[in-house]
Structure 1
Amino acid sequence: MSSTLVPPAEIAADATLGDWRYGVGAIRAEFVATSFPGGAALLAEIAAAAEAADHHPALHLRWPGAVRVELWSHDAGGVTDRDVDLARTISGLAAVAGAEARPLRVQAVEWTIDTEDADRIRPFWLAVLGYSDDPAAFVDDPAGFGPAILFQPMGDGRTQRNRIHVDISVPHDVAERRVAEALAAGGTLVSDEHARAWWVLADADGNEACICTWQDR
């Protein structure tokens, strides 16, 4: 089935997608039902709607009734009109079920490893994490639960900086607040040169993390 990629800016501007946020090639939402059985019932309804559409999201249920949904099109390598259509259907199901949408809580976490030779270190990380053997620069957990790993080329001998840092892709409308909270919690701003795409922060020991969004990329 053919599908058309939908740009992140179009998703963010669409009032019918207010429950959803874009990040790392997918749109995500969280709906919190009034009880755990209520969350399970909503998850079942979403599964039925996905089966009817022949388009299947990643679904997660957590106590006390929080349902996380991730939508993207594998064949197109991003978010398409099929994802957008199903997202609207899911929002409608959640509204009827009385589940509260909490779009500002969704995020995606990645590990980034700076390296001058990705082929030399990739096998180690795949082995210790139990990930599948994949020569790609960007490696996902085949089980769909662990963080993705990005092997980032580094050819300038930056031995003074961390070789491993965490990328946290957050909803675009909470990024600046997240940065401010991290700074208030004792962090330092290493660089905002690429903001709003990402801010580089560090803890008191110099360990780095990036707050990332889809904007300005």
Structure 2
Amino acid sequence: MNDDAKQVLTSQQVNDQAPVGWREVNGMLCTRLITKDFDQSLRLVDEIATAADEANHHPDIDLRYGWVGLRMVSHDVGGITSRDIQLAGVISRLADDREVEHAPQVPTAMTVGINTADPDRIRDFWSALTGHAPAPHDSTSLPSPDGQMPEIWFQVTDDPGEGGPFHLDVYVPHDTAQERVDAVVAAGGRLVTDEYAPAWWVLADADGNRACVCTWQPHN
């Protein structure tokens, strides 16, 4: 494997190079393929698995009736690389051959933020409760143990009660973020600040509980 294949791409590079129908969501290259039924989903996954074996690079696959979800990242270097872009292109061609449509606006990821003045004081509690093991060399993060559960992270603050002790970070495709924010406000939410948009918007429900809509984009 050459050095270029191990080079982590910037989010802007991913956006520029990703095949049509793919988006970066929370550090992973994602799409959803819409199928006619479970049988077509299964046959498509079988073809994707063969292509992944040939590339020696494997996506996370969510097999469902009517759709196949795909997420990719180069775990060995901790980011999206040209290997992910290339395999996404192969998968897109397989989907096109079967006349399967992409739904790139659908993939969403969530993390749970816990406000605390001292992560060391509460980390073991949350690790024991949820089964999340602490991240190596990162005292503020409890990664998902299997990729299915949200990451838990500790937001260090002098006022843990500000905005509530918990908040959700909801990661969406960058080109759907404003639509999601508008929908939240229309549903009775309040925009606390868009100071950091388009990286994230801080919102609150009628009781003051906060959440953020997040994208890969840097804030202004």
TM-score where L is the length of structure 2 = 0.92
1:5-48 deviation line (CA, Å, top 9, x unaligned): 2222122234x612111122211010011111100111111111
**Shift in CA distance, 205/188, structure 1 to aligned 2, threshold 3 Å:** same
1:55-105 deviation line (CA, Å, top 9, x unaligned): 111110122x21111110111111001111001011111111221100000
Unaligned 5+ runs, structure 2? none
Q: 1:140 — aligned with what?
A: 143
Unaligned 5+ runs, structure 1? none
Considering only aligned residues, what root-mean-square deviation do their CA atoms show, in Å?
1.5
What residue identity is the alignment partner of 2:214? C
Q: 2:88 — aligned with what?
A: 87
Secondary structure, counterpart of 2:182 in structure 1: helix
Q: 2:198 — aligned with what?
A: 196
Identity of aligned residues (%): 42
Q: Distance in 1 between matches of 2:183 and 2:50?
A: 40
Q: 1:60 — aligned with what?
A: 62
1:162-186 deviation line (CA, Å, top 9, x unaligned): 1210000100000001000000000
Q: 1:7 — aligned with what?
A: 10
Secondary structure, counterpart of 1:131 in structure 2: coil
Secondary structure, counterpart of 1:103 in structure 2: coil
Q: 1:118 — aligned with what?
A: 119
**Shift in CA distance, 134/216, structure 1 to aligned 2, threshold 3 Å:** closer
Secondary structure, counterpart of 2:44 in structure 1: helix
Give the one of 32, 35, 43 matched to 1:33: 35
Q: 1:44 — aligned with what?
A: 46
What residue identity is the alignment partner of 1:55? H
Q: How many residues were matched structurally? A: 214
Give the one of 150, 171, 174 matched to 2:173: 171
Q: 2:101 — aligned with what?
A: 100
Q: Distance in 2 between matches of 1:109 and 1:181?
A: 17
**Shift in CA distance, 133/33, structure 1 to aligned 2, threshold 3 Å:** same
Q: Distance in 2 between matches of 1:97 and 1:123?
A: 48
1:109-161 deviation line (CA, Å, top 9, x unaligned): 1111111111111111111112235463222221221111111211x325332
Secondary structure, counterpart of 1:17 in structure 2: coil
Secondary structure, counterpart of 2:203 in structure 1: strand
Q: Distance in 1 between matches of 2:99 and 2:129?
A: 42
Q: Distance in 1 between matches of 2:101 and 2:72?
A: 19
Asked if the contact 2:25/2:107 (under 8 Å) is kept, the reply is no
Asked if the contact 1:11/1:17 (under 8 Å) is kept, the reply is no
Q: Distance in 2 between matches of 1:157 and 1:165?
A: 14
**Shift in CA distance, 11/111, structure 1 to aligned 2, threshold 3 Å:** same
Q: 2:213 — aligned with what?
A: 211
Secondary structure, counterpart of 1:142 in structure 2: coil
Secondary structure, counterpart of 2:13 in structure 1: helix
